[in-house]
């Protein structure tokens, strides 16, 4: 693994992270003998990607006048276009042409990244994530192969250990490429709770106005295995999962039916898995031979 740091810091065992170890354990058996690069940047919860985008895409440094201290902070250290982006970039915790961007849909169902952040005055409106809701990013949800099953058996949406995120953006309107799939879902699998149609970035004050935005970009787009990932970390063997497992797993192979199950909710409401696209698992897991044949013809 090649390590890319915006502060030229070398990795140490003290700062090692088990979730990152899980990610690398998922990708290397698939991409070897190709290599992987880890981009590590100084970031905060409200500003995770400013330095990263500066480093891989120099035009971002000066876009719209450059950094705004009220948004980007006061850090004056910038490394514009210092690193060439890899062909595939996977972001597991919360570019240019030819670069595919994948982002984990989150592990909190409709209730924010970690399942504890519903909106509205009555805390019942579904809370979408900003990046998975972006139409230029492929959002990856999670599915599970139940214990005792074999490859090729029916997959399900996990519910007992975590809830893969699935929502509709309040900021980005639904892109044209989603119209057929989302219209099919809303017409034939209408949720039992009320939705709203807004493209101005606003949300209702409470759930009486609806709990999800039917006009927004829907996610996840796709799903991959997200349970029982095995990895080595600090001289021990661990098992874990989540969409931070499924996102890099799907990204590795880039250039099914789902059992109905509930996911983490806002005031008891959540989306279910259905045939076709759904907000719990997107289009579901991929059939690799079919996917490879399709992209090979492009």
Q: Which position among 19, 79, 184, 206 bears the catalytic label?
A: 19
Q: 183: which 2 tokens? A: 């219209």
184 tagged catalytic: no
244 tagged catalytic: yes
CA pair distance 294, 298, nearest whole angstrom: 7
CA pair distance 118, 239, nearest whole angstrom: 29
Q: Which position among 90, 105, 244, 270 bears the catalytic label?
A: 244
Cα angle value 186/188/194 (rounded, 5°): 40
- Tens digits of per-residue pLDDT, 61-90? 888 777 777 766 666 677 888 888 888 887
Which domains are assigned to the chain?
A: 7-32+87-296 (3.40.50.200), 41-84 (no CATH)
pLDDT tens sequence for the chain (298 residues)? 555 555 555 555 555 567 778 888 888 888 888 888 888 777 665 666 788 888 888 888 888 777 777 766 666 677 888 888 888 887 765 433 456 778 888 877 766 555 557 889 999 998 888 788 888 888 888 888 888 888 888 888 776 666 677 789 999 999 988 999 999 999 999 888 999 999 999 999 999 999 999 999 999 888 888 888 888 888 888 888 888 888 888 877 765 222 233 345 577 676 777 878 887 778 888 777 887 788 788 7
Q: Which position among 6, 23, 67, 139 bears the catalytic label?
A: 23
Alpha helical stretches, state H, the chain: 18-31, 50-56, 59-62, 69-72, 179-188, 243-252, 288-296
CA pair distance 94, 92, nearest whole angstrom: 6
79 tagged catalytic: no
Confidence (pTM): 0.68
């Amino acid at each position: 693994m090649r390590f890319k740091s915006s502060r030229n810091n070398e990795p140490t065992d003290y700062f090692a992270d088990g979730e990152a170890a899980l990610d690398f354990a998922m990708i290397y058996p698939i991409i070897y003998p190709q290599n992987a690069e880890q981009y590590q940047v100084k970031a905060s919860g409200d500003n995770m990607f400013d330095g990263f985008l500066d480093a891989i895409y120099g035009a971002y440094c000066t876009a719209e006048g450059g950094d705004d201290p009220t948004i980007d902070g006061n850090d004056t250290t910038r490394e514009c276009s210092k690193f060439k982006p890899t062909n595939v970039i996977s972001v597991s915790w919360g570019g240019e042409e030819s670069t595919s961007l994948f982002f984990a849909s989150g592990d909190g169902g409709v209730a924010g990244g970690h399942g504890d952040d519903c909106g509205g005055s009555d805390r019942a409106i579904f809370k979408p994530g900003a990046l998975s809701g972006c139409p230029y990013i492929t959002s990856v949800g999670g599915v599970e192969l139940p214990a005792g099953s074999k490859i090729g058996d029916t997959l399900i949406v996990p519910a007992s250990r975590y809830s893969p995120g699935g929502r509709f953006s309040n900021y980005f309107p639904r892109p044209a490429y989603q119209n057929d799939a989302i219209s099919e879902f809303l017409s034939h699998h209408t949720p039992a709770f009320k939705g709203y149609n807004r493209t101005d970035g606003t949300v209702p004050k409470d759930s009486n106005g609806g709990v999800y935005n039917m006009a927004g970009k829907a996610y996840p787009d796709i799903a991959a295995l997200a349970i029982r990932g095995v990895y080595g970390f600090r001289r021990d063997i661990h098992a874990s999962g989540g969409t931070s497992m499924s996102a890099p797993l799907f990204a590795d192979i880039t250039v099914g039916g789902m059992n109905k199950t509930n996911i983490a909710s806002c005031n008891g409401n959540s989306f279910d898995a259905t045939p076709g696209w759904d907000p719990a698992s997107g289009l579901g897991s991929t059939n690799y031979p079919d996917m490879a044949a399709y992209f090979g013809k492009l």
